[in-house]
């Protein structure tokens, strides 16, 4: 007999809909699952949660399947527009952008890092005129959601909570490389810190760094926020429900209903109080534009009647990472699985793979992948057509601001210096010294060579944000106000990472879960 690895039970897929709900939440991902769960705490409110994907697969419980779940049926399998300054080693100069199409959203296929960002991130939002969003004001929401099961961290009640829905726990296993990173960091003058505490500059190990993990398995937002409340009669969860558009009265500018398709049948369900769009930084702006909310000229080009002219889809930000920096020793890199999964997850071209990675397929390798956590470059999300099933055009414009490339260069040089510390050297680690394809014209190991390598091997750290920017009424670039209400439309909010004015200096899953005011 096998013990169930799903003790909370799966959610029920609603087949019959009410004519009207008090709230309709679109997207059951890192933010939407939380929003629907919180709203349904009020028993008198009838809540409908719509998700384009299905139930999370049992395999997702295993943390190591994160790479395998990318490009599977639970992934939207998005790719960026061709880049001129990044992604140059990938097919068609396009970066893969994994996004969860499943109950739990991207929290089902991410790498489970629980990182809130830096105090300055939220204080900067507040300084822009977003009242209520300073670090001291959002910290209680992080603590409220958290069930931290590390006794060392949980004892610090100023920064951590217990008893919340979201289990936060250290990984049950750590490789010897963890020790090398900590010792190497100490050699370079850095402290070992709790990255969700008072200080973020430093190193963090398996004792002080936590993930969305529960007893060694993934704790997605579906597992944390939806399964425990699946028996609430006032919460209906509908899977395989692809939203076509929001129904908005052109005269009153009131959001009145949602049109979606479920298994070949189109429904139009009314809303009494509010629609909350939590479809993420790609699909939220896409849905708003399909519904007539967005840049007027762009919508007119597809024959979409403009209800409100707003800069929807602008301000796109992401954390680019350099994914080459291959070092030979142990652990993993893009060459670790001989090519069947990781090569295509990154999207490396065949010629690049054969020339650069194939020679080290049977070698123990690790990959240091520095991130650019405060990018200056800005991109856009735009419609490809008025078809709600057509993937939008995603153009992050990586390194369009040249200062970003200079910063990443310093990060890469820092990583190389770390590899030369005593802690790394005693493991026998050395830098792979093959010249990267496309960078042969540059003198090896010079700044120009490293800049070339960065442009060729930059990929996404999976943190698109900012495309429905939050700002005060005086901000002409804002789409939503500090209460996340869409300007010019009644009964409509956006609650996900698309509202971030500036991308946080960390992973975006924890902010998506904890800072949406629900």
> Annotated catalytic sites, by residue?
463
Torsion angles phi and psi, residue 498, rounded to 5: -70, -15
Q: Detail the DSSP E strand segments found in 34-181.
A: 47-50, 78-79, 96-97, 146-148, 166-168
For 222, residues 6+ apart whose C-beta sits below 8 A from its C-beta are 11, 28, 33, 55, 56, 102, 103, 104, 107, 108
Check the annotation: does 102 bind a ligand.
yes
Single out the residue of 200, 203, 201, 199 nearest to residue 184, CA to CA.
203
β pairing state of 20-26 and 265-277: parallel
Name the token pair of 16. 């019959």
For 383, residues 6+ apart whose C-beta sits below 8 A from its C-beta are 286, 289, 290, 298, 299, 302, 390, 392, 393
Task: Express the helix, strand and coil content of the chain in percent, nearest 5 each.
Answer: 30, 20, 50
Name the token pair of 353. 């793979």
Torsion angles phi and psi, residue 75, rounded to 5: -120, 135
For residues 431 and 452, what is the distance between their CA atoms, to the nearest angstrom? 17
For residues 246 and 497, what is the distance between their CA atoms, to the nearest angstrom? 20
Check the annotation: does 243 bind a ligand.
yes
Check the annotation: does 312 bind a ligand.
no
**DSSP-H helix ranges across 188-279:** 221
Distances (CA, A) of 351 to 134, 343, 354, 355: 48, 12, 5, 6
- 105: which DSSP letter? G
Helix (H) or strand (E) holding 378: none
Name the token pair of 32. 């939407």
Distances (CA, A) of 146 to 28, 169, 212, 500, 507: 19, 10, 10, 21, 16
Single out the residue of 222, 229, 256, 262 nearest to residue 244, CA to CA.
262
Residue with tokens 């005593």: 422
CB 468 within 8 A of CB 312: yes
For residues 431 and 445, what is the distance between their CA atoms, to the nearest angstrom? 11
For residues 31 and 19, what is the distance between their CA atoms, to the nearest angstrom? 25
Sign of CA dihedral 360, 347, 345, 424: positive
Extract the annotated binding site: 102, 106, 243
Extract the annotated binding site for FAD: 102, 106, 243
């Amino acid at each position: 007999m096998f013990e169930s690895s799903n003790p909370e039970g799966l959610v029920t897929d609603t087949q019959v809909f009410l004519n009207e709900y008090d709230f309709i939440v679109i997207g059951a991902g890192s933010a939407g699952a939380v929003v629907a769960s919180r709203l349904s705490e009020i028993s008198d409110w009838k809540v409908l949660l719509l998700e384009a994907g299905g139930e999370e697969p049992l395999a997702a419980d295993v943390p190591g399947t994160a790479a395998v779940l990318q490009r599977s049926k639970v992934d939207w399998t998005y790719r960026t527009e061709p880049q001129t300054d990044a992604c140059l080693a990938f097919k068609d100069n396009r970066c893969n952008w994994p996004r969860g199409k499943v109950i739990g959203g991207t929290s089902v296929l991410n790498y489970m890092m629980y990182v809130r960002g830096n105090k300055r991130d939220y204080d900067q939002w507040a300084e822009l005129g977003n009242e209520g969003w300073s670090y001291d004001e959002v910290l209680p929401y992080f603590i409220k959601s958290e069930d931290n099961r590390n006794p060392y961290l949980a004892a610090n009640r100023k920064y951590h909570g217990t008893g919340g829905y979201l289990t936060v726990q250290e990984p049950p296993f750590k490789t010897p490389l963890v020790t090398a990173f900590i010792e190497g960091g100490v050699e370079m003058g850095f402290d070992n810190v709790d990255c969700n505490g008072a200080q973020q500059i430093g190193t963090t190990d398996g004792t002080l760094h936590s993930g969305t993990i529960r007893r060694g398995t993934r704790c997605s937002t579906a597992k944390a926020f939806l399964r425990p409340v699946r028996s609430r009669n006032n919460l209906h969860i509908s899977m395989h429900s692809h939203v076509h558009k929001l129904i908005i009265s052109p005269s009153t500018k009131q959001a009145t209903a949602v049109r979606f398709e479920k298994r070949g049948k189109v429904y139009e369900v009314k809303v009494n109080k509010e629609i909350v769009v939590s479809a993420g930084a790609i699909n939220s702006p896409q849905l708003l534009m399909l519904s007539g909310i967005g840049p007027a000229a762009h919508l007119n080009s597809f024959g979409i009647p403009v209800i409100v002219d707003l800069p929807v889809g602008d301000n796109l930000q992401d954390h680019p990472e350099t994914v080459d920096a291959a070092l030979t020793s142990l652990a993993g890199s893009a060459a670790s699985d001989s090519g069947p999964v990781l090569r295509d997850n990154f999207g490396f071209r065949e010629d690049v793979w054969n020339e650069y990675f194939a020679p080290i397929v049977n070698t123990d390798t690790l990959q240091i992948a520095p991130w650019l956590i405060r990018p200056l470059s800005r991109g856009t999300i735009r419609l490809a057509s008025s078809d709600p099933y057509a993937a939008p055009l995603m153009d992050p414009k990586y390194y369009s601001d040249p200062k970003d490339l200079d910063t990443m260069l310093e990060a890469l040089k820092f990583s190389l210096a770390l590899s030369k510390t005593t802690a790394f050297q005693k493991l026998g680690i050395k830098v792979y010294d093959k010249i990267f394809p496309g960078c042969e014209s540059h003198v090896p190991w010079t700044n120009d060579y490293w800049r070339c390598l960065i442009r060729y091997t930059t990929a996404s750290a999976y943190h698109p944000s900012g495309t429905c920017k939050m700002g005060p009424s005086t901000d002409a670039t804002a789409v939503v106000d500090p209460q996340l209400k869409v300007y010019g439309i009644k009964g409509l909010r956006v609650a996900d990472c698309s509202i971030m004015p500036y991308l946080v200096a960390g992973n975006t899953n924890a902010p998506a879960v904890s800072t949406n005011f629900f």
